[in-house]
Amino acid sequence: MTDKKTKANTLWGGRFEGGVSDIMEKINASIDFDKILYRQDIKGSIEHCKMLVTTDIISSEDGIAIQNGLRQIEGEIDAGDFEFSAALEDIHMNIEARLTEIIGSTAGRLHTARSRNDQVATDFKLWVRDACDQADEALKALQFVLINKAEENADVIIPGFTHLQNAQPVTFGHHLMAYFEMFTRDRARFADARKRLNECPLGAAALAGTSFPIDRHQTAKALGFDRPTYNSMDSVSDRDFALEFLSAASISAIHVSRLAEEMVMWSCAQFKFIQMSDSFTTGSSIMPQKRNPDAAELCRGKSGRIIGSLNSLLITMKGLVLTFSKDMQEDKEVTFDAVETYSLIIAAMTGMVEDMKVNADHMKKATEVGFITATDLADWVVRVLGLPFRNAHHITGSLVALAEKKGCDLDGLTLEEMQQVEPKITKEVFNVLSVESSVGSRVSFGGTAPSEVLKQVALAKERIG
C-alpha cells in the first residue's frame, strides 16, 4: 500500500478531507509535459484578467496586481528559477499557486468566470496554432532548397520508375519538383487546420458558460482568434484541432519518408545517383568504407512515430461522451512529441537536399537499360504512321522482345530488323529513341522537358509565398 498525501490540494480540495495516494498523484499529474504551455497560459490569463477589469467583474487594482504577478512568473520560468510541483498537477495550478504566493488571496480572483477546461483548451489551441506557423516556415525553407536544386538539375536525365522498373526518362529537376508539389499541399493543410482552429474557447468555463457578464469577443480578439467558439460544450470537448494538425503532420511526414527512401536508394553503390554529405551520414564501427545514410533512414523511421501519435489521439477521443474527461489529458504528450519529431525531420531533410551532390553521369547511364524510350517509339508509330495506339503498343512490344533477344537497347536494332516487325517504319524513328529526345519532347504543361521544368521552377518561386 502506498501512503496517501496528508494534505488535499488546496486549489480544489474543499470537497475532499483526505489526500491522494502517490500513485494517484503520479497518474494525474501532467506538469512534466504541459509546462511547455506556460507562455500560452500566462498570455491567456493576462487577457482574461484584462477582460474581467473591463467588465467590472474585478477591480482595476486587483487586475494590475494579477497581471504584474503573472509577468513576474513568466520571467521566473524563462530564467529557470521556477519550481514546478507534481502535487499541483499541471501548469495552470502551478502558476496560480505561485501567483498566490506573490500577491496573496487576490490571485483567486483570476479564475472568476473560467474553468481549467476552457483554460487548457485555449492554451493548447494557442500552442498548436504556433506549431502550424512553425511547420509552414520549415516547409517553405525545404521548398526553396528543392527549387534551387531542381533549377541546377533541370536537364540532368534520370530513369523515371513505375514498380521500381525503368519506365521513361525524366529530368532530375522534374523529379525534385514533384516533392515541391507535395510540400505545397502540406502547407495548405496546415493553413486550413490553422484557420479552423482559430476560434477561442475561453469563457466557455467548465462546459455551460458562465453567469458573469464577460466579453468573450474581447479575449478572442486580444489572443488573435477570429471569434469566440459558438458552443460552450463543444469548446471544452473539442480536440479536432490537435487531430487535424497531427493528420497534416502525418501526411507530410509520409512525403518526407518517401523522399528519404529515394535518397537512401540513390546513394547506395548500386545506383550512385547522389552522394550525401558528411554532415548527414555516419560510418561503420567495423567496415571503414561505409557511408551510411542514417539521417535519411531516421527521417523514414520517425515518420512512423508521427503517424503513431495521430493514431493514439484518434483512439483516445473515439469513445468520449461530452464534455471533458481526464482521458483528454493524453492529447498533449503525443502532440508535443509529434511537433518536435516533425520539426526535426523537416530540418534534416532540408539539410540533406541542400548538401547532396548529384552524379549526373551515373543517372544518365542508368537510362541505358530497360528499354526506357519504348513509349517514345510507340508514340512515334501513332504520330507518324497513323496507327491506333493499341497497334503501336503491340509493335513496340515486339521490337522490345527482339532487342532483348539481341542483347541491345531499342536504338541498337537496325532499320531492317525494325521493318521485319512493321514495314512502314523509317530511319526517322531513331530521332526519338535517345533519352535526350525523349525528355526534350515532353513539353506539355507540368512535363519533364528541361524547358518546362524551368517554367515550373519560375512559377514555384511565385507560388511559394
- pLDDT tens sequence across 366-376: 998 889 999 99
Please, which residues have CB within 8 angstroms of residue 357's CB and are 6 or more apart in sequence? Answer: 274, 275, 277
The closest alpha carbon to 255, from 353, 155, 169, belongs to: 353
Element housing 168 (H / E) = strand 165-171
Which pLDDT tens digit goes with each residue over 407-431?
998 989 999 999 999 999 999 999 9
The three state secondary structure string of 268-301 is: CCCCCCEECCHHHCECCCCCCCCCECHHHHHHHH
- pLDDT at 15 > cutoff 70: no
Neighbours of 406 (CB within 10 A): 12
> Which pTM value belongs to this model?
0.91
Q: How confident is the model at residue 19 (pLDDT cuts 50, 70, 90)?
A: low
Which pLDDT tens digit goes with each residue over 430-447?
999 999 999 999 999 999
Share of residues in the chain with pLDDT > 70 (%): 95
Average pLDDT, the chain: 93
- Residue range 174-200: average pLDDT? 98
Using an 8 Å Cβ cutoff, are 58 and 112 in contact?
Answer: yes
In sign, the C-alpha dihedral spanning 415, 421, 425, 431 is negative
Q: Which residues are catalytic?
A: 163, 284
- pLDDT at 29 > cutoff 70: yes
Give the torsion through C-alpha atoms of 151, 452, 180, 349, to 10 deg. Answer: -30
Using an 8 Å Cβ cutoff, are 362 and 159 in contact?
Answer: no
Give the torsion through C-alpha atoms of 152, 154, 157, 162, to 10 deg. Answer: 110
